[in-house]
Structure 1
């Protein structure tokens, strides 16, 4: 049973039907028991409260009669007699007042205004009127009514403040007016209303509100407004910029969910169920959508997740696992999540050199985060995903995980929802041309048919054939989507007939596959056989790409002596038209089941090994080419390219390792080494270099290079001397020297950097010289030699500027900013650091963003602008928190704690950054 006291007394049974409680005294008895929230009430207390001093004759017997009547409604076991009296057995969640209090408490403990607003709204929606409305005139209810009324008003004030943080001041300016009239002396409510009015451009009304309160307090209580309201009044008078709305507070959370290419058909109820299960107010934290390939698990998950973006301030993120090898570990899955979150640089900056700590680091980083992770295509890595999910459930109670796969994870706390095919029309309903429309399968087929054949419509003449097609394909969405374009050349009746003939034939080995998977395979068989040899060859070769491919990749990997590269585009176009290949921006992708099918066809054709080698070789070439562009004006473009190709590059390396192709493996890791360093994916770099070096063979120079990179990452010098290329040798000496210097081995670090500079000059390597000079400038600063530091930093900046390397210029300008600070030229320091910040943000170097913001904050404080300094540190704290950069969080929070504003200042408490205001936008513009 559930009980409602937030309004007229109500009782609902397990099915949600309201149960009638007869007779006024029986309802009053229930109300008394509910006010004690499950505690015992002595019989004499019940008699006094029920009859208020006018007890009937034989009061105990009369009371027992009322108890019996109540038991007939609720059940005998619900009203319990004990030595201490009667009590109502109330379980957790049975009483709406307790649910309300729990939601309010959860909101108060949350740092995100969007989550607080959601929880508080949910809590206030439980109210159906005044508490205990139908027993409000009884003395026993007055204290509880007053308590609940106060909690309600406090929740309304909490909600108003949360909505102010979200920038909803215009709506609040109107909504709070009526509430203030009913409760004119509540200072907190008045303060929220004044802030809303001020931000809505109604400064005069805000000041009038303060005067109204001041006069009422003086007349009715002989008192003055409190110090907080007085401070707010003064801030309004002086147009304090701290009162403006924080433009960043209401920004939508981060998400990488792709936009759906077509509407989702026939899944409205399923989408609503998934969203309800994963909402912040639900207890479900891990939801697995299971089903055969092609049934639409991913589309359903994406549609549901897209509707939850506003509920998860820390992001709703897709983590695609299809590109992982079946041998992948929990650490590999954790690394994918870290990459999706954009935490690679923070993980590298905070963690030690042991890559086995990634899962533990991720678990710590996600503690307290309100994020939703969609782990897609898990069936081949189910054990690894189960390990990660179990770890995250234990470490991150406010995070949610949505999983798609062909089987459940089978971990504690998992909720499983099988995804069925779309519903089909009932047999016989379409025989006379009616009854087909309205089923999900028919609606999807018709919609896709109309996209393929303009003007197609479901009619009395074709309804039976369309229904037959949907039944023979068992309502599997992928099957329907692939068959619908055949209407360009076949009628619905012809398609239905061909499906009938084909499905009567064996479709090959089917042991272990569910029936609908056999149907899907038969359908793909049929679509495959309608293709020409050239189309079949290109399609099956596309299956080697783990995460889609560019046109260039398709041209290289899918071509051969019979299919020149310049013909691949025409073939791809035809395959896209047939819905066998999906165009996604500049990339081409295969649907999940089509990719699995084409891999089998590739193996049957005897091409699997050759095409995989071509795929790995192509990506090795691309990695080497991109590496050459990471040190010049196209740096941002090639960083983005390597980001987009990460999954394919990993598969290329896995392929080379599986084939024991040492040459390709070494090319890949050497080509990616600098990218890994820039992105701070040092655990991946160490692991990949060691794996490549574990394969026998390969060119000696490539092996020496990989050994040197691996050694430098492990702070070991000797292998660097064996590198033949003098430019690379000096660059590696710089890299190791810088690492040693920062690890405390300063003499060794300085020696290596000086040697790197000399080697770069000898080799004519301007980029290497610029690197070493930037590092040496830092060494001179530490040694209190500003003149030498100024010379080296200026020379480094000039070289990097000429080369167009923005990352390098950031390094040099960082030293120049320190020198400007030493000279007392804070304006120049701020200008240089502003350029560094813009570069770091453009290149998505989040550790550099945090460090630069804190530097800018200290510069602002030195210039006598503590408010700007505070705003910059608050922003640094937010970025560090978002990207789990622990050191940055600590630095920013420590500064904020030590530079807290005075009591009458408007910014809120630290370290949450809740006091950030619109002045942050001004700070951003200045940097």
Structure 2
């Protein structure tokens, strides 16, 4: 069991499903036991706490009844009775009377403990970006006021106060980190409400003042200080402390140290991985590649060519890493090894869209079926570098894609790695040779060779203390020459120094490569060397190690340990042996471990795939791979609507390439059942991430596949597809016929109600409001009948926009239910509905506060279209209150995020808002400029409503 106390009391089982704890006193009992962190609580203390000093007759028996009710919910073993009292068993611990817990206590079991641990980890870390992320993770655990169910109970007040103080301290910690990262504009907007609620917290006030000052709002920063002074005098009869007073003086004098810090280039937009080892022997090549893509060069496509294992990817990443300052819209690594050989240019474009985080179909787009064209249009005005890695099996489609980018995106540059060139106009080919070999056996001369330098570094890592000397220099030179200076071959053989001396290793290589059977016909000499090295490494493995290595090759983008166990284990290999075998393969440099993932290098993966086919088990392993990722998708789908939502999104992001490989395999092998399982599980994830094109293409492909599968699986997929098509179609099309219910026939009442909501909201968004409302009302009835809290919440929040007389009550109940199940996305939607209701009531302060809460959730989940919407709503609220400057700041942020994510509807709305703000300030020229941009963007992107709104506002701009 896991427990949530940072908000309404919540319980989840081991699979993350909510567990209902009925009856107020039973919930109070659980809260009391949680406050004592698994320590014993005497029965008389519980009675006094639960009945506030006024116990009922037979209170001991009554307490035992409540304990029995709690045990029925949690499991009898979870609530134990000891001589010292009752206690709640946390994480299977054996907690004694002193409260100690040898198993590590309730860490990860109680969200409050997890919150404190994350905060401590953040404070101990030196890297500001990491500190900020850890603080954000900690604050994301809060779902509302701590112990909200028992907030009025005397026994909870001190713990609530303690947790609230910890939360505010973490908010202050995070604010100071964000200031060092240059995030002052967003911070200035976000801290306003918090400062108003806690006007005497000087540290919080100081962070807000700094943020305001750095955002160009010096007068607001000074006004904030005056508000603090007034509150202190009125409430405490005191004056501001020396630190905040000094800050006030510094702002008055505009001292230089208050200026925004320069943000390091490492914070530029990029997904380039952190290199685990140094790049050796490529300094000149790195400079050459950068020069060819430099600001003064006309080259926009450089292709690094060379044999497998020569280090093309490492060279490309090193060259790209030094160019983040030049490419203001990002430097992006797009891995193509996971795409099948039959992939089309649109498949490459889809991978790029996903990597760049573009909102490909957040609104209706005119060229939805031409992803290459859509992508080129979306990034037409950007300066970015895209690194397309491992393209040798996709030369033709990559060439088409690259040609489109070069011809339509003036600021778009491409860096490609491939064993052969694309051979298109504008391409500059940069061959990547092996490392330089030693010329003599003299130690000084040998040490100058880059091949030797790499070998020595890897050898020292494998055998600590190893160094080049007079005795081993000839042998080391021989090893490097035998392996032709190929980096991968050198790394593979270096690990052998754990058991062999350099001389013995050189002799082994001499004997091995002298045999004619090592040479593979038709391969270039150096490729034969690498092949021979892989053959030798393979033969030195035990049969079980060989089994794991060849089966790992089915993964397209590495895997977690859990997936490795699922795919590699079989009748001949128990799953519990896989971790140890993986560890041995890592030691032999055949598998690379990166955080919690295990990867094969390109050449090792290709070699292992050959061995998998030779073993005759490719079909069986692919079947296990399909089953593993179908189960993974279904498992995560269950968690996507609960407290694990953020981490679930991150896990699915990490598995995107493998999930796409599973879908491609299912299509290629006519495994229609698996294809339908995958798309039905993944559509909600695609929806949350705004990847509607991928959802539509995948659903259509799965439904088109032949095979006699469960009709309900097809019906489910058709219902999902109907909802997706409604969101990616223009008003003139009719993916759902009038009066039709695509979900009719679904037997699962929970699933049907949720899909009715999904289709109904799609109809509403397309302007078919009456039909949509009918389906959503049916969804509400179905969810309530099935006791589906999530479905009920979703329907209520949607209906809040249709029933003005009950809008606020619907939204409040929906928000409460979303809080109960822990769905942050749902809380965001409910918050927005409440904000709109507050706006209709004229409550501008509450409207702004609710929109700001929604903004924080959207940023936390990385839902960028929702971020834009929240910023735009805040802009409208500021305009309604006559605050043109604040509205301008908010709309500028919305415009920046929209442009970054290619969210055209957001750009139109932001430009329109900027035009309104300029008109309110009396800046006629700025108003015309912004509104004309909105009009042009609306016309070019097919957003007729946005264009019409911009045109209407343009006509209201006064003439000169």
Alignment equivalent of 1:393, drawn from 398, 406, 410: 406
Alignment equivalent of 1:420, drawn from 430, 433, 451: 433
Determine the C-alpha separation between the residues in 2 that align with 1:583 and 1:894: 49
Alignment equivalent of 1:698, drawn from 698, 709, 713: 709
Determine the C-alpha separation between the residues in 1 that align with 2:272 and 2:927: 33
Q: What is the CA distance between 1:791 and its match in structure 2?
A: 2.0
Determine the C-alpha separation between the residues in 2 that align with 1:687 and 1:607: 30
The verdict on how the C-alpha distance between 1:390 and 1:521 changes in structure 2, with shifts beyond 3 A counting, is same
Q: What is the CA distance between 1:433 and its match in structure 2?
A: 4.7
Name 1:467's counterpart in structure 2. 477
1:712 correspondence with 2:684: no
Determine the C-alpha separation between the residues in 2 that align with 1:284 and 1:507: 44
1:577 correspondence with 2:587: yes
Name 2:793's counterpart in structure 1. 770
Determine the C-alpha separation between the residues in 2 that align with 1:242 and 1:871: 23
SS at match of 2:791: helix
1:91-102 equivalences in 2 (<5 Å): none
Determine the C-alpha separation between the residues in 2 that align with 1:547 and 1:904: 53
1:291 correspondence with 2:302: no
Q: What is the CA distance between 1:900 and its match in structure 2?
A: 2.4
Name 1:680's counterpart in structure 2. 690
Name 2:916's counterpart in structure 1. 898
Alignment equivalent of 1:657, drawn from 659, 664, 667: 667
Name 2:277's counterpart in structure 1. 262
Task: Answer whether contact 1:854 1:876 (CA < 8 A) is retained.
Answer: yes
Determine the C-alpha separation between the residues in 1 that align with 2:554 and 2:781: 45
Q: What is the CA distance between 1:509 and its match in structure 2?
A: 8.0
Determine the C-alpha separation between the residues in 1 that align with 2:215 and 2:403: 47
Name 2:107's counterpart in structure 1. none
Name 2:880's counterpart in structure 1. 862
Task: Answer whether contact 2:918 2:927 (CA < 8 A) is retained.
Answer: no
Name 2:339's counterpart in structure 1. 324
Determine the C-alpha separation between the residues in 1 that align with 2:366 and 2:564: 37
SS at match of 2:370: helix
Alignment equivalent of 1:613, drawn from 612, 616, 623: 623
1:359 correspondence with 2:395: no
1:275 correspondence with 2:290: yes
1:240-259 equivalences in 2 (<5 Å): 252-259=267-274
Name 2:612's counterpart in structure 1. 602
Name 2:504's counterpart in structure 1. 494
SS at match of 1:799: helix
Q: What is the CA distance between 1:552 and its match in structure 2?
A: 0.6
Q: What is the CA distance between 1:904 and its match in structure 2?
A: 10
Task: Answer whether contact 1:740 1:749 (CA < 8 A) is retained.
Answer: yes
Name 1:102's counterpart in structure 2. none
1:537 correspondence with 2:547: yes
The verdict on how the C-alpha distance between 1:241 and 1:680 changes in structure 2, with shifts beyond 3 A counting, is farther
1:723 correspondence with 2:723: no
SS at match of 1:397: coil
Q: What is the CA distance between 1:773 and its match in structure 2?
A: 1.0
Q: How many pairs are equivalent?
A: 673
1:126-154 deviations in Å (ceiling 9; x for gaps): xxxxxxxxxxxxxxxxxxxxxxxxxxxxx
1:424-463 equivalences in 2 (<5 Å): 424-426=437-439, 429-430=440-441, 433-463=443-473
Name 1:779's counterpart in structure 2. 802
Q: What is the CA distance between 1:779 and its match in structure 2?
A: 2.1
Q: What is the CA distance between 1:743 and its match in structure 2?
A: 0.8
Determine the C-alpha separation between the residues in 1 that align with 2:928 and 2:501: 69
SS at match of 1:367: coil
The verdict on how the C-alpha distance between 1:316 and 1:754 changes in structure 2, with shifts beyond 3 A counting, is same
Q: What is the CA distance between 1:356 and its match in structure 2?
A: 2.4
| Structure 2 residue ranges without an equivalent (≥5) | 1-180, 183-212, 219-249, 726-734, 932-960
| Structure 1 residue ranges without an equivalent (≥5) | 1-165, 168-197, 204-235, 913-927
Alignment equivalent of 1:851, drawn from 869, 889, 894: 869
Task: Answer whether contact 1:255 1:316 (CA < 8 A) is retained.
Answer: yes
Determine the C-alpha separation between the residues in 1 that align with 2:866 and 2:253: 34
1:304-359 deviations in Å (ceiling 9; x for gaps): 1111112212111111111111111111101111111111xx21124448752211
Determine the C-alpha separation between the residues in 1 that align with 2:262 and 2:769: 42
Name 1:547's counterpart in structure 2. 557
Name 2:49's counterpart in structure 1. none
Determine the C-alpha separation between the residues in 1 that align with 2:772 and 2:259: 48
The verdict on how the C-alpha distance between 1:243 and 1:436 changes in structure 2, with shifts beyond 3 A counting, is closer
Determine the C-alpha separation between the residues in 1 that align with 2:690 and 2:630: 20
Task: Answer whether contact 2:676 2:713 (CA < 8 A) is retained.
Answer: yes
Task: Answer whether contact 1:774 1:811 (CA < 8 A) is retained.
Answer: yes
Q: What is the CA distance between 1:571 and its match in structure 2?
A: 0.8
Name 1:788's counterpart in structure 2. 806
Determine the C-alpha separation between the residues in 2 that align with 1:718 and 1:509: 65
Q: What is the CA distance between 1:368 and its match in structure 2?
A: 1.7
Determine the C-alpha separation between the residues in 2 that align with 1:199 and 1:736: 46
Determine the C-alpha separation between the residues in 2 that align with 1:580 and 1:908: 61
The verdict on how the C-alpha distance between 1:803 and 1:403 changes in structure 2, with shifts beyond 3 A counting, is same
Name 1:309's counterpart in structure 2. 324
Task: Answer whether contact 2:367 2:373 (CA < 8 A) is retained.
Answer: no
1:392-411 equivalences in 2 (<5 Å): 392-411=405-424
SS at match of 2:446: coil
Determine the C-alpha separation between the residues in 2 that align with 1:395 and 1:790: 48
Q: What is the CA distance between 1:903 and its match in structure 2?
A: 8.7
Task: Answer whether contact 1:507 1:521 (CA < 8 A) is retained.
Answer: no
1:262-311 deviations in Å (ceiling 9; x for gaps): 10000000011111111233211111101110000000001111111122
Task: Answer whether contact 1:354 1:683 (CA < 8 A) is retained.
Answer: no
Task: Answer whether contact 2:492 2:537 (CA < 8 A) is retained.
Answer: yes
Determine the C-alpha separation between the residues in 2 that align with 1:778 and 1:245: 44
Determine the C-alpha separation between the residues in 2 that align with 1:381 and 1:873: 42
Name 2:109's counterpart in structure 1. none
Task: Answer whether contact 2:864 2:897 (CA < 8 A) is retained.
Answer: yes
The verdict on how the C-alpha distance between 1:596 and 1:909 changes in structure 2, with shifts beyond 3 A counting, is farther
The verdict on how the C-alpha distance between 1:437 and 1:771 changes in structure 2, with shifts beyond 3 A counting, is same
Task: Answer whether contact 2:550 2:611 (CA < 8 A) is retained.
Answer: yes
Which one has the largest radius of gyration?
1
Determine the C-alpha separation between the residues in 1 that align with 2:621 and 2:353: 31
Determine the C-alpha separation between the residues in 2 that align with 1:903 and 1:464: 81
SS at match of 1:808: helix
1:660-706 deviations in Å (ceiling 9; x for gaps): 11221111111111111111211111211222221312223222212
Determine the C-alpha separation between the residues in 2 that align with 1:240 and 1:753: 56
The verdict on how the C-alpha distance between 1:472 and 1:249 changes in structure 2, with shifts beyond 3 A counting, is closer
Q: What is the CA distance between 1:541 and its match in structure 2?
A: 0.8
Q: What is the CA distance between 1:436 and its match in structure 2?
A: 0.6
Q: What is the CA distance between 1:467 and its match in structure 2?
A: 1.0
The verdict on how the C-alpha distance between 1:354 and 1:278 changes in structure 2, with shifts beyond 3 A counting, is closer
The verdict on how the C-alpha distance between 1:512 and 1:394 changes in structure 2, with shifts beyond 3 A counting, is farther
**TM-score normalized by the length of structure 2:** 0.67
**TM-score normalized by the length of structure 1:** 0.70
1:860-884 deviations in Å (ceiling 9; x for gaps): 2223322211111111111011111
Name 2:769's counterpart in structure 1. 746
